[in-house]
Chain A
Amino acid sequence: GESVGLHLPTLSVQEGDNSIINCAYSNSASDYFIWYKQESGKGPQFIIDIRSNMDKRQGQRVTVLLNKTVKHLSLQIAATQPGDSAVYFCAELGYGGSQGNLIFGKGTKLSVKP
């Protein structure tokens, strides 16, 4: 079945360092992926997305990498700041019976130490 998961449940980094958050997916037919940031007590906030015809996409301080061969997705945050502390979720746009629905991974909590 379809599933999206994360390798690391928690990540602690020093302010100014780069952060890498990983995600694995199982449906090779998935063609669209999104990273969300969720701060405590708030709804998910869109960070960046990528379609399966790309292997890299950059935003402001963030980069998403997609490796379709091993069905792996990563989010890189450059010069991590305290305001980046949150839980990060990858999400996959469902196919088949879940068409149009987002399937969320388990989440990684990022803690930034000042």
Chain B
Amino acid sequence: GAVVSQHPSRVICKSGTSVKIECRSLDFQATTMFWYRQFPKKSLMLMATSNEGSKATYEQGVEKDKFLINHASLTLSTLTVTSAHPEDSSFYICSARRGGGPRTYEQYFGPGTRLTVT
């Protein structure tokens, strides 16, 4: 159990277009989902925390108008990179946490989405 999927796994888009990445918890309900960004040979950087039915909380330095997050259901969160530029090229990873409050520890990661902006 506790499987998290992401779609697509890889995407190439042209500069100026928008790209949507989906994160799904397949066998549990996730009240909270997290979006991370990872550059090559670097650690995961938290971008935002999204709670079902409410606005996402963005980390300092992350543009909320550029990285739109929607958590419309307990099993789906989406990240839309708007007006993508080559510097947005990165590996985007989501994770999902079961219900139970912020000190509920179990957090399950998706396989990641490789975004390349040309």
Q: A interface vs B, CB < 8 Å?
A: 32, 34, 36, 41-46, 49, 89, 93, 99-107, 109
Known A41-B114, A43-B93; judge A105-B43 contact (CB<8 A): yes
Known A44-B93, A89-B44, A105-B43; judge A100-B102 contact (CB<8 A): yes
Min CB gap A34→B, angstroms: 8
Known A89-B44, A101-B49, A105-B43; judge A44-B109 contact (CB<8 A): yes
Residues of chain B within 8 A (CB-CB) of A103 are: 46
B97 at the interface (CB under 8 A from A): yes
Residues of chain B within 8 A (CB-CB) of A46 are: 108-109
Q: How many residue-residue contacts, CB under 8 A, span A and B?
A: 54
B32 at the interface (CB under 8 A from A): yes
| CB atoms of B43 and A106 under 8 A apart | yes
5 contacts across the A-B interface (CB closer than 8 A): A32-B105, A43-B112, A89-B44, A101-B49, A104-B45
User: Is chain A's interface secondary structure helix, strand, loop, or mixed overall?
Assistant: strand
C-alpha spacing A41/B111, complex, angstroms:
8
C-alpha spacing A43/B21, complex, angstroms:
15
Min CB gap B50→A, angstroms: 12
C-alpha spacing A93/B103, complex, angstroms:
8
Min CB gap A33→B, angstroms: 10
B82 at the interface (CB under 8 A from A): no
C-alpha spacing A32/B107, complex, angstroms:
13
